[in-house]
Chain A
Amino acid sequence: MKILVVDDFSTMRRIIKNLLRDLGFTNTQEADDGNTALPMLQNGSFDFLVTDWNMPGMTGIELLKHVREDDRLKDLPVLMVTAEAKRDQIVAAAQAGVNGYVIKPFTAAVLKEKIEKIFERAEG
């Protein structure tokens, strides 16, 4: 399971990577915004994308839209982990095809639950 973690703050990337490792996902890579992440996704056979929303350059919601528009990436499970909490934004993310939405600050248990739910649904 190869996972890409996208966040403009390195500490948040590190926290998410650590939590993923605790869940047994050790193959993770990092990007600091959508512009860096998109080519990595296009060339890298990732199985899962965890992304922040508010980032300089390309935002997470734009990245999500690009992923859904890309024939090779359109089925990639995407989990949004973000401080963005406006209802309109959550609805927009859902409409753009997000698979899970976690708002910061979050707990390890919430992250675990959402990831498990995404993979249950993907398998089922």
Chain B
Amino acid sequence: MAAVELDSTNGDFEKLFSAKAKELMARLEQNDLTGAVGLIQDLQKVRDENLYQEIGQLTRALHESIKKFRLDSSVQGAGSDIDEANEGLAYVVNMTAKAANTTMDKVEESMPLSEGIASSSAEINQEWKRFLKKELAPAEFRDLTKRITVFLESTDASTRKINKNLSDILLAQDFQDLTGQVIQKITTMVTDVEARLVNLVAMAGHVDQLTGINHGKIEVEKKEEDLQQGVGPQLNAENEEDVATGQDDVDDLLSSLGF
């Protein structure tokens, strides 16, 4: 990788620099001013050459990164990796919404069917118990047998429909596989972008060294969470002290406040 190569050239430069500095001291001690000035010019030249080299490498790495992630918006319709990630995440939202809706459709369709079976069987059961206790009149019994026939037929149809719906619900979970793949791809991309950025920063650091530029400590702006707006689900609730880990925790907190 470019960074490794860079380190070595930088190392050479440092060695040369310190060797020349010692030589410079020696010349000054010997009152050889002309030689000393010549050395300083040499040093300047080496530094300039190194600087150009470093800048060249930095520029190349930048170009490569832009090419790699297709971030160059001047190329129409190229679709950068960021665009692709956005599209991927929109796909995840759509897929999960579709699966949730399909599942709820099927559940809403199935619930009245199972409720129907439950209420009919409860009714028939009551009559059946009366029959076993020989409390049913012949006309009532004839009525019961008719109701049992209807019940058996409708239960057959209802359970088939419920089974079909359950199987559809099962299939609706296929989003997990598809969205998982998309998210994994985006995770890889983000990690890659991060690694390249870190590399670019390291290369730029060498340029700073050679030019003697000191940026001071770069303050990384801490992103203030807007609790009023809402910050969304906590991904590591267990490890954060200021986060409720579950409903019990919420209830404890509220009861401590007099709820």
What residues of chain A have their CB less than 8 Å away from a CB belonging to chain B?
Answer: 9-11, 14-15, 18, 53-55, 59-62, 82-92, 94, 101-104, 106, 110
Contacts and interface: CB of A to CB of B under 8 A. Distances in A.
Contacts of B64: none
Contacts of B259: 94
Contact of B230 (A53, A91, A94): A53
B233 A83 contact: yes
Contact of A15 (B104, B228, B232, B237): B104
Contact of A59 (B104, B229, B246): B229
A102 B101 CA distance: 23
Given A11-B97, A11-B100, A11-B101, A86 B234 contact: yes
Interface in B235-259: 237, 242-247, 250, 253-254, 257, 259
Given A61-B228, A104-B233, A88 B242 contact: yes
B254 A101 contact: yes
Interface of B: 97, 100-101, 104, 107-108, 227-234, 237, 242-247, 250, 253-254, 257, 259
A103 B257 contact: no
Nearest to A91: B257
A93 to B, nearest CB: 9
A10 B247 CA distance: 23
A4 to B, nearest CB: 19
B98 to A, nearest CB: 10
Given A54-B229, A61-B230, A89-B230, 12 more contacts: A10-B97, A11-B97, A18-B104, A54-B232, A59-B229, A82-B230, A84-B230, A86-B231, A86-B234, A90-B250, A94-B257, A110-B247
